[in-house]
Chains A and B, each alone.
Chain A
């Protein structure tokens, strides 16, 4: 089977539909009752069954603001259009369908915000919203983003290395792992208020990295994408981006970063330990029980006929920078 990365990623810039258009179309399909029972059990917490025909009307979209940053080095791959990056999200706090977060997260309050960095360190600190954006020089990083569901994107993130932040708090010798936690606020996050909407996950969402993974230069704390601050569906105001791991490691809307001695629990691993490991490095040789991981569909522009299935690379193509971290490990066992 021939799979050519070149042809797959040089698709013409054809009809990229404005987000509002496809939201409107989806609503139409829902009204026709064919998107399934979730169409009836409207995901938005306020929507009553009678709101069907007006459920998106009085919601003003979230306002992002332009950022100042150092341009990143371009990648020889087509970027995923911004409209797709910001409308196809797994953020179960706002519903389990990919289009739920953009519909339900627009009202998220990101300012004021508090991010605590604490635990095994000399100088624990708490950063407020302005500090998140101003404490470090922001840089653009264009990364491949590979979801465990076998689709991928190419995204121009803006942020700063997690290592820079950790240097500031001075981890002690006991700091072997870093534990992250998403905001817990059921009033704002309908998925946390209802197990049905939130996919039966125990919140808050938690993730973790080994300390050497955390201080690797690739590991980014992102505050923006496509030149602007993050929209809520992508994890505003601050999220993690670990490009050589499956997307679920890149935790969104972080309120706590804790340096710890023992390997911290992580959300998907708690839910299904045989399906999702702690390391979750992108690995074409280890299949997930549900998805073959040998290849992926790259989402750029282009519709149904886009020939976008490409081979998945070990460590998502970042082996040169990170393979060394796992030198003596059996990655089939530690998936």
Chain B
């Protein structure tokens, strides 16, 4: 592995993990304001979306600044997006709904924003479990087909965010613009398939 790839990998691990551990530590010890559950949900939700955006920014960025080693880190960023999303969904179930499975499914069916979040999450699960190199080789061309679903996942993540807010849509709209831009950069890909 090249030196700069290694440095970047260590950096990605360090930042993503430190933030996550820190937030759960503070939440468990009641140091995150009046409602640690809300804080954790928002933090992991935004974190997952940020990381997903970052993972989709890698390819255009690599082309633009001509640093191919960046590509070596794309999978790692994507996997952290998945980890944050996993924490988000588990926190929802464990701390918001508090293990009430009936209510969990009721929420998924009855609240459109949660339905959309669930679909995005299922896609991320599929992408994560097929991310090993061995699986990738085995899957051949089907791998790329499957992994193109990430575009739907990020779009649904953005819609989920937009629908989840009560009044102020500024922030989701900014995210929407960024996501649209990332998808626009790949317009050739969409036209060809």
Residue in A36, A201, A271, A304 whose beta carbon sits within 8 Å of that of B37 in the complex: A304
Q: For the complex, is B2 an interface residue (Cβ under 8 Å from A)?
A: no
Further pairs besides A17-B31, A87-B33, A303-B30: 15, Cβ < 8 Å:
A15-B29, A15-B31, A17-B30, A25-B26, A35-B42, A36-B46, A92-B168, A96-B166, A196-B168, A297-B96, A303-B29, A303-B31, A304-B91, A305-B28, A309-B100
Cβ contact within 8 Å between B50 and A88: no
Q: For the complex, is A329 an interface residue (Cβ under 8 Å from B)?
A: no
Q: For the complex, is B4 an interface residue (Cβ under 8 Å from A)?
A: no
Which of B70-78, B107-115, B129-137 sits within the interface?
B107-115
Can you name 19 A-B residue pairings with CB atoms under 8 Å? A17-B31, A22-B31, A25-B26, A25-B32, A29-B19, A36-B171, A37-B174, A85-B34, A88-B34, A88-B35, A96-B166, A96-B168, A201-B167, A290-B111, A290-B113, A297-B35, A299-B34, A304-B40, A308-B98
Q: For the complex, is A32 an interface residue (Cβ under 8 Å from B)?
A: yes
Contacts A34-B46, A290-B111, A304-B95 known; A200 to B31 CB distance under 8 Å?
Answer: no
Cβ contact within 8 Å between A309 and B35: no
Cβ contact within 8 Å between A303 and B27: yes
Closest to A201 in B: B167
Cβ contact within 8 Å between A29 and B27: no
> In the complex, what residues of B have CB within 8 A of residue A116's CB?
none
Q: For the complex, is A84 an interface residue (Cβ under 8 Å from B)?
A: yes
Q: How many A-B residue pairs have CB under 8 A?
A: 119
Cβ contact within 8 Å between B33 and A292: no
Cβ contact within 8 Å between B28 and A303: yes
How many chain B residues touch the partner (CB < 8 A)?
A: 44
Residues 107-147 of chain B: 1 if any A CB is under 8 Å from the residue's CB, otherwise 0?
A: 10011010000000000000000000000000000000000
Q: For the complex, is A151 an interface residue (Cβ under 8 Å from B)?
A: yes
Cβ contact within 8 Å between A26 and B43: no
Cβ contact within 8 Å between A34 and B50: yes
Residues 288-315 of chain A: 1 if any B CB is under 8 Å from the residue's CB, otherwise 0?
A: 0110101101010111110111000000
Cβ contact within 8 Å between B28 and A304: yes
Closest to A15 in B: B30
Q: For the complex, is A99 an interface residue (Cβ under 8 Å from B)?
A: yes
Q: How far is the CB of B178 from chain A (nearest CB, A)?
A: 9
Cβ contact within 8 Å between A301 and B30: yes
> In the complex, what residues of B have CB within 8 A of residue A151's CB?
35, 38
- Report how far A304 CA is from B26 CA in the complex, Å: 9
- Report how far A141 CA is from B118 CA in the complex, Å: 43
> In the complex, what residues of B have CB within 8 A of residue A32's CB?
19
Q: For the complex, is A287 an interface residue (Cβ under 8 Å from B)?
A: yes
Please give me the 8 A-B residue pairs with the lowest Cβ-Cβ distance, nearest first.
A88-B34, A199-B167, A303-B30, A84-B34, A199-B168, A36-B46, A304-B27, A96-B168
Which chain A residues numbered 19 to 37 have a C-beta less than 8 Å away from chain B? 21-22, 25-26, 29, 32, 34-37
Q: For the complex, is A41 an interface residue (Cβ under 8 Å from B)?
A: yes
Residue in B19, B36, B95, B113 whose beta carbon sits within 8 Å of that of A34 in the complex: B19
Cβ contact within 8 Å between A35 and B29: no
Which chain B residues numbered 8 to 40 have a C-beta less than 8 Å away from chain A? 19, 23-24, 26-38, 40
Q: For the complex, is A50 an interface residue (Cβ under 8 Å from B)?
A: no
Q: How far is the CB of A257 from chain B (nearest CB, A)?
A: 25
Residue in B19, B91, B107, B166 whose beta carbon sits within 8 Å of that of A292 in the complex: B107
Contacts A297-B96, A303-B29 known; A199 to B34 CB distance under 8 Å?
Answer: no
Cβ contact within 8 Å between A302 and B30: yes
Residue in A196, A198, A290, A299 whose beta carbon sits within 8 Å of that of B35 in the complex: A299
Q: For the complex, is A48 an interface residue (Cβ under 8 Å from B)?
A: no
Contacts A15-B29, A36-B42, A290-B166 known; A303 to B19 CB distance under 8 Å?
Answer: no
Q: How far is the CB of A221 from chain B (nearest CB, A)?
A: 24
Q: For the complex, is A5 an interface residue (Cβ under 8 Å from B)?
A: no
Q: How far is the CB of B114 from chain A (nearest CB, A)?
A: 9
Residues 142-183 of chain A: 1 if any B CB is under 8 Å from the residue's CB, otherwise 0?
A: 000000010100000000000000000000000000000000
